[in-house]
Amino acid sequence: MSIRKVNFVDNAYYHIYNRGNNKQKIFQDKQDYEYFLKLIFLANSELKFRLSFIDFDFSEAEKGEDIVGIGAYCLMPNHFHILITQLQENGISKFMHKVSSSYSHYYNKKYDRVGFLFQNKFKSEYVDNDIYLKYLFSYIHLNPVKLIQSDWKEKGIKNKIQVVSFLKDYKYSSFDDYLGLKRIENRIINRKAFPDYFSTKKDFIEEIFDWLKIEL
């Protein structure tokens, strides 16, 4: 898989996403999700790594200097979202090339398949204003709600307690990191590389609840 030839600008913000070829699942079980999370941590460096080294503990792993800053992410059964900024020249393309090619290799080997895993090269949207950037934190983190109520945007939340509990328990996004929960995956995100929209846990909860139309 070649490196994407897009002129990403340093310190600008981008919404990166991709989905499985023919909308197929790209995460089949817990191991797949956890592998991808470890991968986006380890691939965020100029240093090379071997796939055999991917089985590591977040709390003990060391890597080189970040080439991108990740502000938010969410992994869904057949796609993923990453809110990202480039910290070093060509950092986004290098990072996504390592993530996409390494995960495809892992997945094809595990499930004894051949061919492209992802639909195409990853998609990117330039975030050109502050309102849109702040909105993306909610949009990305609220993706899992569709897993328990696909029509929530059109019909509103049917079971508010269930939705809030589900979001807190969903381990494959950065939602819990913005709730201030101590977990090893919080090493993935770099909040300092993004505007401080949510300086407190309350700020984040208020923003999320506002989109869900849930009163505190």
Is 172 among the domain residues? yes
Rg (CA), the chain: 17
Is 60 among the domain residues? yes
Question: Residues 6-26: what's their mean pLDDT?
Answer: 93
Domain count, the chain: 1
Which range marks the domain in which residue 165 is found? 13-212
State pLDDT tens for residues 162-205. 999 999 999 999 999 999 998 989 999 999 999 999 999 999 99
pTM: 0.92
Is 6 among the domain residues? no
What does the mean pLDDT of the chain come to?
91
Buried b (16+ CB within 10 A) or exposed e, 154-168: eeebeeeeebbeebe
Residue 85's CATH number:
3.30.70.1290
- The pLDDT score that the predictor gives to residue 1 is 46
Judge whether residue 10 has pLDDT over 70.
yes
- The pLDDT score that the predictor gives to residue 48 is 81
- Residue 63: exposure state from Cβ atoms within 10 A (0-12, 13-18, ≥19): middle
Is 153 among the domain residues? yes
Is 56 among the domain residues? yes
Buried b (16+ CB within 10 A) or exposed e, 92-101: bbbbbbbbbb
Q: How confident is the model at residue 2 (pLDDT cuts 50, 70, 90)?
A: very low
Is 146 among the domain residues? yes
State pLDDT tens for residues 97-133. 999 999 999 999 999 999 899 988 899 999 999 999 9
Is 31 among the domain residues? yes
Is 7 among the domain residues? no
